[in-house]
Structure 1
Amino acid sequence: MSSQLLSAPAIKEMLERAGAAPRRSLGQNFVVDPNTVRRIARLACVGPGDRVVEVGAGLGSLTLALAETGAQVVAVETDSRLVPLLREVTGPHDDTVTVVQADARRLDWDALAGGAGWHLVANLPYNIATSLVLDVLDGVPAVTDLLVMCQREAAERLAAGPGSGAYGAVSVKVAVHAHAELAGNVPSTVFFPRPEVRSTLVRITRRAPALAPGLRSEIYRLVTIAFAHRRQMLRRTLCSEFVDADAALAEAEVDPTERPEQLGLPDWIRLAGVSAVAQGPR
């Protein structure tokens, strides 16, 4: 198999040869445009000496573009029908590409990404994109930055700031760990099959130092409660969490009449600190 990037006809031929029609249940929409995968690899800012985990490698379109940069790539794919094709496609790069058959949601990240300084680059199945990003940020500190493609609405939630209509609990949870920004849209015409949703790239860069796990958990708990009623004032949504919600919010320097979508990460950090003291040891 040539090491050239895959075209749409080549991808369709491979799928037909293997009798492997794209599975909707796995969110399989393969990028079939070489310019698009090269663009993604360029936006990932990786090159010789870098280590990359690619989740949902599929038939290797993006894998080959990442390998072109000189980076070391671990290509993870769960579909047993595609793994032999992926190994065939990446064969010319077996010195820089390692193919792993695994479900990204059940990966042994310690074994896969030992040491620090890993990049995660992926065309993520839309149904697991948000949960996977949060799981990596929470539990895989070895991954220091991510460039992921997902449904545009999910991307906007991952990167949203206070006051935005897309800002919610997910946005705050991402901000606890990292800075996130939209990195560009991807047209549906570059996929096979063509998805019914819009796709957007998100760049996520981990911050240091990390918040203490206890404080992080308290922020998660509070934002989950508050954003369940995002249109209500905080004095009402958080009244069950404090003996005197107004006093607790004032201590955290938060206006009790504000709504959760108006609070930035520093506000949630102060509020979680007050809450942790009020709750006492657990």
Structure 2
Amino acid sequence: MDDLPPIRETIARHGLSASKALGQNFLLDEQLLGRIAAIPGNLRGEPVLEVGPGPGGLTRALLRAGARVTAIEMDQRCLPALAELSDAFPDRLTVIQGDAMKLDHGEIMRAEPFHVLSNLPYNVGTALFVRWLCGEDWPPQWRSLTLMFQREVAERIVAKPGTSAYGRLAVLAQWRAEAKLAMKVHRSAFTPPPKVMSAIVHVTPTNAPEGVSARMLGRLTEAAFGQRRKMLRQSLKGIPGALDALARVGIDETRRAETVSVTEFVELARTL
């Protein structure tokens, strides 16, 4: 690792710049990257999936921590810089060129439990997060998610009922997992600096409530928060049996989605 040039020099040597179209913002502070890699705990020998490594700043920190990294990168310009890391850490880094939204992550990770650490591209971050949360099989193959988001999105993930940030992401992240805000990251840490602040969310799976379909919970939250200013009797009327289920569970149909707790959404999904 000490033989590698600073990541800033690598970026300059390969003529790289962050692509707005790909939602890229590069992190160059190696101390900060080391702190991010430490959030899940000891990664020595652990398989890690990284989406959107770019020139490899976080990848370096993960390799330094002893992880076995599989990185999915869409931007072909970054592949030579990542190849240098592969050469420096034989058999420790696998780079896959492609779209993470179209790939089977479980197959890529060879059905082995893995951690996900990523400075997610802004344009696909939320979609990937929802995908990792919404599988019917639980516990999932991933053991933890440590993900960089815009701070507003991160706050939605950890929000509590009755707050303006509480919504679908909070319910999906909290009904069978523990989500916490692990670190705030100032916009000045990135190159180029984004217009918004960022934060890192750390999610670990917990026991799933019995008799609840992830698909049904997803439908409920999508309908309820898709019209969050309307009463539940209006927002949920398109789901067969939902209004009867509200009565059976004891949820007043004049309430709005932002007042319904995670536990109440779970009970509603179970009843349906």
**Could you tell me the TM-score, scaled by structure 1's length?**
0.86
SS in 2 for 1:81: helix
**Mapped contact 1:120–1:143 kept (Cα < 8 A):** yes
By how many angstroms is 1:138 displaced?
A: 2.5
Equivalent position of 1:279 in the other structure: none
Q: Which runs of 5+ in 2 are unaligned?
A: none
The worse-fitting range, judged by mean Cα deviation, of 53-62 and 86-95 is 86-95
Letter in 2 for 1:218: M
More helix by share: 1
Pairwise CA distance, 1:265: 2.0
- From the superposition, tell whether residues 171 and 3 of structure 1 become closer, same or farther in structure 2 (CA, over 3 Å): farther
Residue 175 (structure 1) shift? 2.4
**What's the C-alpha RMSD, in Å, of the aligned pairs?**
2.3
Distance across 2 between alignment mates of 1:116 and 1:27: 29
Give the Cα–Cα distance (whole angstroms) in 1 for the partners of residues 265 and 242 of structure 2: 17
Q: What aligned pairs does 1:9-158 form with structure 2 within 5 A after superposition? A: 10=9, 14-139=10-135, 141-158=140-157
Contact 2:185 2:199 (C-alpha < 8 Å) held by counterparts: yes
Q: Secondary structure at the match of 1:99?
A: strand
Per the TM alignment, residue 143 of structure 1 is displaced from its structure 2 partner at its CA by 1.1
Specify the SS of the correspondent of 2:265.
helix
TM-superposed CA distance for 1:129, in Å, is 0.8
Q: Comparing 118-127 with 214-223, which one deviates more in the overlay? A: 214-223
- Alignment partners' CA distance in 1, 2:239 and 2:23: 39
1:218 aligned to which of 208, 213, 216: 216
Any idea what the Cα deviations from partners look like across 1:57-79, whole Å, max 9, x if unmatched? 11111111111111211122111
* Partner of residue 188, structure 1: 187
Q: 2:133 corresponds to which letter in structure 1?
A: L
Alignment TM-score, normalising by the size of structure 2: 0.89
Question: Quick one: distance in 2 between partners of 1:102 and 1:222?
Answer: 32
- For residue 200 of structure 1, what is the amino acid of its counterpart? A
CA pair 240-101 structure 1, distance change in 2 beyond 3 A:
closer
- Structure 1 segments, 4+ long, off by >4 Å, are 1-5
Over alpha carbons, which structure has the higher Rg? 1
**How far apart are the structure 1 equivalents of 2:257 and 2:31?**
41
- Give the Cα–Cα distance (whole angstroms) in 2 for the partners of residues 49 and 210 of structure 1: 32
Cα separation, partners in 2 of 1:176 and 1:3, compared to 1, 3 Å:
farther
**Paired residue type of 1:227:** F
| Alignment match, 1:252 | 249
Q: Indicate the residue corresponding to 1:273 in structure 2.
A: 270
The alignment covers a number of residue pairs equal to: 269
Q: Following TM superposition, by how much is the alpha carbon of 1:118 offset from its aligned partner in structure 2, in angstroms?
A: 0.6
Q: 1:52 to 1:80 in 2, by over 3 A?
A: same
